[in-house]
């Protein structure tokens, strides 16, 4: 495996899920595997779970991890090829990624979208510039349009909580938020759920349609209550408009998931990638109930990252 930035195939997905679960039960199984290998974790944006789980995953493999908050401890990177750098950017991605590529064995990068430059975001410009110039394997810690380590952790979680003897119904439901939120988690969750063969329904207010390249094969249902019927897994997530790029069209509080919404889905487990805005996206009553898998998902971030790093360094 050279990069880990998106869903590749059901076979590879299953292999990573199984390896992640193996590590969950024996975190230091491969403590010798990464000896002498070094990962650089480059953050252009804030992080809690991703930052810590990636470091722990590396430590569990015996790797040395170095974290660089490029936005705070470094400086602004120029991303445009051919730019005349007489403004605010201090170093070109070409040079910075080249150097980091020569310092490390693996580079892990977090680079959020602008939510204003749609074409640039859609090309996953920043992480692809890192890949282009680093010359070593790159792991996405969430890019402009995907968050594959989150989705792998989500797939591990759904396998752990799978229902017996039938194909589970998975629902991705939009939730209200006060800020314009990227599409990465929703995109990746759709990409991985569909890729792994789940029956996926997506529900949201009109105008919040996701990029079809991620959702092809899913059922779109604007009626949230209908979408939630008999759901096994309900993934709650806000995202801003994709068509009217980066804009907030609705904050309709009736879309916030509560126990009442789940009356027609008595067995539904509820998922969220965290951080979650309580009582805005999701009610306390759900998050604090047995339905909630959010802490399981978070814990599985370690083993998702560990499975990916393990494959990359072998």
State the binding site. Answer: 47-50, 75, 110, 142, 147-150, 177, 237, 273-274, 277, 301
In the bound state with a second copy, the residue whose beta carbon lies nearer, of 13 and 34, is 34
In the bound state with a second copy, the residue whose beta carbon lies nearer, of 67 and 220, is 67
List residues forming the annotated binding site for carbamoyl phosphate.
Answer: 47-50, 75, 110, 147-150, 273-274, 301
Residues forming contacts to a second copy in the complex (CB under 8 A) are: 28, 36, 38, 40, 43, 46-49, 51-53, 55-56, 59, 64, 66, 68-70, 72-75, 78, 82-87, 90-92, 94-96, 98-100, 102-103, 178, 274-280, 284, 287-288, 294-295, 298-299, 302
Q: For residue 64, what are the β-bridge partners?
A: 38
The answer to whether the beta carbons of residues 85 and 78 sit under 8 Å apart is: yes
Least gap, CB of 80 to a second copy (angstroms)? 10
Least gap, CB of 166 to a second copy (angstroms)? 30
With a CB cutoff of 8 Å and minimum separation 6, the contacts of 304 are 16, 20, 53, 57, 149, 150, 152, 153, 156
The answer to whether the beta carbons of residues 257 and 276 sit under 8 Å apart is: no
Least gap, CB of 223 to a second copy (angstroms)? 25
Measure the CA–CA gap between 271 and 281, rounded to whole angstroms: 12
Angle at Cα 69 formed by Cα 280 and Cα 311, nearest 5°?
90
List residues forming the annotated binding site for N(2)-succinyl-L-ornithine.
Answer: 142, 177, 237, 277
DSSP state string for 135-188: -S-EEESS-SS--HHHHHHHHHHHHHTPPTTSPPEEEEEE---SS---SHHHHH
In the bound state with a second copy, the residue whose beta carbon lies nearer, of 232 and 281, is 281
Measure the CA–CA gap between 111 and 128, rounded to whole angstroms: 10
In the bound state with a second copy, the residue whose beta carbon lies nearer, of 14 and 250, is 250
Least gap, CB of 205 to a second copy (angstroms)? 18
Least gap, CB of 61 to a second copy (angstroms)? 13
In the bound state with a second copy, the residue whose beta carbon lies nearer, of 150 and 201, is 150
Least gap, CB of 217 to a second copy (angstroms)? 31
Angle at Cα 308 formed by Cα 48 and Cα 104, nearest 5°?
80
In the bound state with a second copy, the residue whose beta carbon lies nearer, of 6 and 283, is 283
Count the helix, strand and coil residues of the chain and give each as a percent rounded to the nearest 5.
Answer: 40, 15, 45
């Amino acid at each position: 495996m050279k990069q880990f930035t998106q869903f590749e195939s059901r076979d590879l997905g299953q292999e990573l899920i199984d390896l992640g679960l193996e590590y969950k039960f024996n975190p230091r199984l491969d403590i010798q595997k990464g000896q002498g290998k070094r990962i650089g974790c480059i953050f252009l944006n804030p992080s809690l779970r991703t930052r810590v789980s990636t470091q722990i995953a590396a430590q569990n493999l015996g790797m040395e991890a170095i974290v660089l908050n490029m936005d705070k401890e470094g400086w602004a990177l120029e991303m445009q090829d051919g730019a005349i750098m007489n403004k605010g950017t201090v170093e070109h991605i070409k040079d910075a990624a080249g150097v980091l590529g020569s310092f490390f064995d693996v580079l892990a990068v977090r680079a959020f979208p602008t939510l204003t430059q749609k074409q640039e975001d859609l090309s996953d410009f920043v992480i692809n510039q890192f890949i282009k110039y680093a010359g070593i394997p790159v792991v996405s810690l969430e890019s402009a349009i995907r968050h594959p380590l989150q989705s792998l952790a989500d797939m591990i979680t759904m396998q752990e909580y799978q229902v017996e003897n039938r194909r589970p119904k998975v629902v991705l439901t939009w939730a209200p938020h006060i800020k314009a939120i990227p599409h990465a988690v929703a995109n990746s969750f759709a990409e991985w759920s569909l890729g792994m063969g789940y029956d996926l329904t997506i529900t949201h207010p009109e105008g919040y349609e996701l990029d079809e390249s991620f959702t092809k094969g899913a059922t779109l249902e604007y009626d949230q209550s209908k979408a939630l019927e008999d759901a096994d897994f309900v993934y709650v997530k806000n995202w801003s408009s994709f068509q009217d790029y980066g804009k907030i069209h609705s904050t309709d509080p009736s879309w916030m998931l509560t126990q009442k919404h789940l009356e027609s889905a008595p067995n539904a487990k509820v998922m969220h990638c965290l951080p979650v805005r309580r009582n805005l996206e999701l009610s306390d009553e759900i998050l604090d109930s047995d339905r909630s898998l959010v802490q399981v998902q978070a814990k599985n971030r370690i083993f998702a990252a560990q499975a990916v790093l393990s494959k990359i360094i072998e």
